[in-house]
A and B are shown apart, each in its own frame.
Chain A
Amino acid sequence: MTNRGLFCPAGDFYIDPWRSVDRAVVTHAHSDHARPGMRNYLCSAEGETVLRLRVGAKSAIQALEYGEVVEMNGVKLSLHPAGHILGSSQVRVELNGEVIVVSGDYKTEADSTCTPFEPVKCHTFITESTFGLPIYTWAKEGAVFSQVNDWWRNNQAEGFASVLYGYSLGKSQRALAGLDPGIGPIFEHETLRPYTNAYRSAGIQLPKTKTIGRAKEDFDWATAMILAPPGSMTSAWRAHIGPMRTAFMSGWMAVRKGSRGRGGQFGFVVSDHVDWPSLMSAIAATEAERVLVTHGFSKTVVRYLRETGLEAYELGSEWTGEQE
């Protein structure tokens, strides 16, 4: 771990660096992982289009098929599906027979908007722990989206437009795939459009959408579902659309305190991260001897893993690796 990001000295590359470097391996295109200004990028072929939207269309990007191996100074590197968003990858690094896998953000339950997660055997597994507490246990995706569709129907019957808040990249497209277009028209906020189009061009089947600015003046919004990033429903939009009900999609919605803290009165538990049981089974599936935990409830997860007999550390505090 360095002050630019996770660094592989032998291969001379960084994974998801946050300051400018020569070679950046990017696990996925969310802005906290994919930053502009790197000299060279490497990402999955599935993720190239969305990465270009984030870091600039003319960036130098090398795209790898999942499982394709490249050598960098004797280090073998390959990318493997992480199931988080379109093109999201785990990074497998092999040097002298020693294998390290960096999970990036991941989710083990399959959904139709990206290649499903595949466990990769390794000696050291570096895992995220965003929802690393046993209270975070997700219901099956189908059950959640049937609640969302019921909510939409109910709002429609009572004369309210439905506004579903979620991140513009990933969450919103997954929601779109789960919506039943038979209920009514689906609109999206302008900021979602390029990402949704990138998903479509990658061959992901999504229901038809219109952008909210394109509706006719006298349009009856009470029938509509609107996908939008949090905070985008300005007073002008509210006045234009009229009576609306809003809901957030987030893993934090599983806990009442979490849903209050995020300003929404109401939400659906939709997460693109592993829940506690999947985190534990994903770690076991790697057969790793050593687990480094980052991003979230690292301390808790490390303590729990140690109690089950695994060698585990918090990445970044206990396990600092090379300093620059």
Chain B
Amino acid sequence: MDWRAGMKRFAELCRLLDRAEPGSEVAALLSSYLSSCNSEDAAWSIYLLVPQSRNRYLSTQRLKKACLEVTGIPDWLYSECMDETGDASETIALLLPNPDDREPEDAPLAVWMNERLPTLTSGPIDDALIRLKEFWVQVDSDSRMTLNKLVTGTRPAKVSVQDLARGLSALCGTISPVLEARLSSPFSPTPEWYGLLKSPATLEELAEANRRLVSPSEKQEFTAVLMYAERGSSGDLVLFTFGVWHEKILVSTAKVPWVRDREVELAIEAFVRENTLEKRGPIRVVPPKVVVRLEFEGVIIAPKRKAGIELLQPTVAEWLIDADPIEASTLQWLKGLIAG
């Protein structure tokens, strides 16, 4: 694979990740990409791909405003395009005119992230929008969607920590459970951190990884039903709310930002798009039809929550396509776990 420089290269990676099979195909793409990256770009790439909150330089509304100014498209027509794509970064990227055949002035990803994007948050907003429009011309049309995602703080591609760790492991030889643990703690995207990330495992880390491998049963699971999905400012669905039964009604119990398998996530997103009963602001209410197996790390008492409990680190492990919603767990059963 020929990986060109900078933003273009990162955008190409994101495009390939978007249609790759999660698992070994994604891991192979990542390791091929990272192997030919300098440490600064590698650190930033990983930082931008892992599931975590990231810096928002401009809101989607601002990007839309700038896009309408550039294209002269009326607001209502933008909304129709948005309905068609379901993604603001993509809509804006598709609407912007294609720069004439000149070569884009790309720069390493680290330059974009350390120097260029931060200029969007300083000075008057009108100046920031002028700089944004310059950025749009600097990158080629294929990279604009990724640039928009980075500007609005949206994840440019959905990759699991497991696949990222596998890809890195192929590169540096450190076993992937250790890399997974390293990627799961907060970090700054610097070359120094990237160096440490790839360093050989310490005895403590190996012992910890081994402990987790031996006792995978720490994770607990239950069956729940999708009640709501929440749209982020980018247009992506960012949070799924699942409920369990309590006296014959569903009570919202787990807010889940993270579906383990991307295919399942896409399928759930499609379900929400096609079955929305009601929109309450960013919340999409759906019929109680999607039954999933949720994994979580623990459960604590939370009196302010409707359910009275809070689940730690809930993840959608599986969509139980054939399950009847009536088979979902009960709140009583979940509460029983606390006592136990």
Contact = CB atoms under 8 A, between A and B. Distances in A.
B94 A254 contact: yes
Nearest to B141: A139
Interface string A41-53: 0000000000000
B71 A134 contact: yes
Given A255-B85, A303-B76, A304-B77, A137 B98 contact: yes
Nearest to A254: B94
Given A260-B266, A300-B80, A307-B74, A135 B95 contact: yes
Contacts of B71: 134
Nearest to A267: B19
Leading 6 A-B pairs by shortest Cβ distance: A135-B94, A265-B19, A135-B81, A255-B85, A266-B19, A300-B80
B221 interface: no
B318 interface: no
Contacts of A300: 77, 80
Nearest to B71: A134
A139 B99 CA distance: 12
Interface in A220-278: 254-257, 259-261, 265-266
Contact of B18 (A256, A303, A307): A256
Interface residues of A, number: 20
A259 B270 CA distance: 13
A134 B77 CA distance: 8
Contact of B81 (A133, A139, A261, A307): A133
Nearest to A135: B94
A257 B86 contact: yes
16 contacts: A134-B77, A135-B84, A135-B85, A136-B94, A139-B98, A255-B85, A256-B90, A257-B84, A257-B85, A257-B87, A260-B266, A265-B19, A300-B77, A300-B80, A303-B77, A304-B77
B90 to A, nearest CB: 6
B125 interface: no
A136 B76 CA distance: 16
A137 B96 CA distance: 10
Interface of B: 18-21, 71, 73-74, 76-77, 80-81, 84-87, 90-91, 94-95, 98, 266, 270
A132 to B, nearest CB: 10
Nearest to A158: B1
Contacts of A261: 270
Interface string A115-156: 000000000000000000111110100000000000000000
B89 to A, nearest CB: 10
A283 to B, nearest CB: 16
Nearest to B267: A260
Nearest to B142: A139
A304 B72 CA distance: 12
Interface string A303-316: 11001000000000
A137 B85 CA distance: 14
A320 to B, nearest CB: 24
A257 B85 CA distance: 6
A135 B91 contact: yes
Given A134-B73, A300-B80, A303-B77, 5 more contacts: A136-B94, A139-B98, A256-B87, A300-B77, A307-B74
Nearest to B87: A256
B77 A255 contact: no
Contacts of A254: 94
Contacts of A133: 77, 80-81, 84
B18 A134 contact: no
Given A256-B87, A300-B80, A137 B19 contact: no
Contacts of B73: 134
